[in-house]
Amino acid sequence: MTMPKGTLFIVSGPSGSGKDTVLGRLLAAHPEIQLSISSITRPMRQGEVEGEKYHFITREAFEQMLRENALLESNVYLGNYYGTPRAPVEAAIAAGRDMILEIDVNGAAKVRAQMPEAVSIFIMPPSLEVLEQRLSGRGTEDAETVRGRLKEAVGEIARAADYDYIVVNDDLDEAVESLTAVIVGQRAKIARQKYLIDEVLQDVKSRNW
Amino acid sequence: MTMPKGTLFIVSGPSGSGKDTVLGRLLAAHPEIQLSISSITRPMRQGEVEGEKYHFITREAFEQMLRENALLESNVYLGNYYGTPRAPVEAAIAAGRDMILEIDVNGAAKVRAQMPEAVSIFIMPPSLEVLEQRLSGRGTEDAETVRGRLKEAVGEIARAADYDYIVVNDDLDEAVESLTAVIVGQRAKIARQKYLIDEVLQDVKSRNW
């Protein structure tokens, strides 16, 4: 029996989109979905656990992965490397499991180029007003900082048209339902289910009608 | 404000797929989804109501619709015409509503040719064994009749690869969840949500940052 492959879902969303809350709810309800874990070279911070959100590896190990093309994408930030290991993603997909890769718009573009079959989802606020309210609602930053965050978020929204799906996070329950539907619906795609047709037709052949 | 368009979903499934039960459950939970109503020329049978499952129209009216290209597809069966009116489908989509058209594999191919943007879903049994059990389980037909139905169903399954999605009806709840996910997930498609990005960017322009 041929196993259907899993799907890599690229999920992005600007600050103020509520992406982490939506993703958290999805993953709690769907433990069968794996989350991609980045490999990074910055030092571990207090409270962080190896393998939970990140794999903490040495600069040498990271550079070797770069040489071996073992990363789907990588980035340098404040002198440290950040990247997405290719092997766990390929293993999950081959085993028929779905994987979510949470990444910014630049990283998403790099991964899409490497894996065009990945399905990308952009989580966005319902409007500029709501985004502004959410970003200033934290109340801890001055107007200038909020304005800077808002501009950054808008810059990401401007690239949302490159994604396959847009999940609007106005009402949280609806956003979770929408994201869940995109992921569960993808499992019914003909590319993932065609093996079933082949099985029935093979079975017909083996009988001598 | 630009309204996002709705989607036409073409749904097919052979006898024994449980298509009607799955669709019934979906429509009961999602009254916002419209069902396409065929126009037919055969006489009304006892218990049938005009406009419920069919529009009962005259042969002359049907032939005029044919001349005016007012049907998405049509067929002749036992001397009577059967067809799918184009106008209600186009009106629903333009108004942002989703519509389901329940139709066989031949009709589905004709509609797909007319509306390539339609999303097609094939509901199928999990295996040949289960299909056989379901078709003979009714217990009212002889083996020859069951064999005939089985061959007909297999002939339809052989064309399921032309569909965008396959919903496997093994467990009814899972089949309903899968079909619902395909339809709800489609609403998040970039083609339907792009207007939101444009709105945010327009809104940004109108402010003088």
pLDDT tens, residue by residue, B43-70: 999 999 999 989 999 999 999 999 999 9
Please name the residue of chain A whose CA is at the shortest distance from the CA of residue B168: A188
A163 — pLDDT class (breaks 50, 70, 90): very high
Distances (CA, A) of B45 to B49, B56, B62, B80, B194: 9, 10, 19, 14, 46
Taking the C-alpha atoms of residue B121 and residue B101, their distance in angstroms, rounded to an integer, is: 10
Q: Find, among A146, A107, A17, the residue nearest to B197 by Cα.
A: A17
| pLDDT value for B57 | 97
Q: Band of the pLDDT at B2, cuts 50, 70, 90?
A: low
User: Among B32, B180, B190, B194, which would you mutate to test the A interface (most chain A Cβ atoms within 10 Å of its Cβ)?
Assistant: B190
Contacts of B193 in chain A (CB under 8 A): 165-166, 168
Q: Which of B151, B183, B193 to mutate to test the interface with A (most CBs of A within 10 A)?
A: B193
Band the pLDDT of B22: cuts 50, 70, 90.
Answer: very high
Taking 70 as the threshold, does the pLDDT of residue A205 lie above it?
Answer: yes
- pLDDT confidence of residue B207: 84
pLDDT digits (tens, 9 = 90+) for A29-48: 999 999 999 999 999 999 99
Which tokens hold the place of A194?
């065609």
Average pLDDT rounded to a whole number, residues B194-202: 94
Set of chain A residues whose Cβ sits within 8 Å of the Cβ of B147: 209
In Å, how far is A82's CA from the nearest CA of chain B? 29
Tokens of B118: 């339609």
CA–CA–CA angle B171, B6, A112 (5° rounding): 75
Out of A98-102, A137-141, A182-186, least confident range: A137-141
pLDDT at A54 over 90: yes
Q: What is the pLDDT of residue A21?
A: 96
Question: pLDDT at position A142, please?
Answer: 84
Contacts of A184 in chain B (CB under 8 A): 177-178, 181, 185
Question: What's this model's pTM, rounded to 2 decimal places?
Answer: 0.93
CB distance A166–B196 less than 8 Å?
yes
pLDDT-based confidence at residue A2 (cuts at 50, 70, 90): low
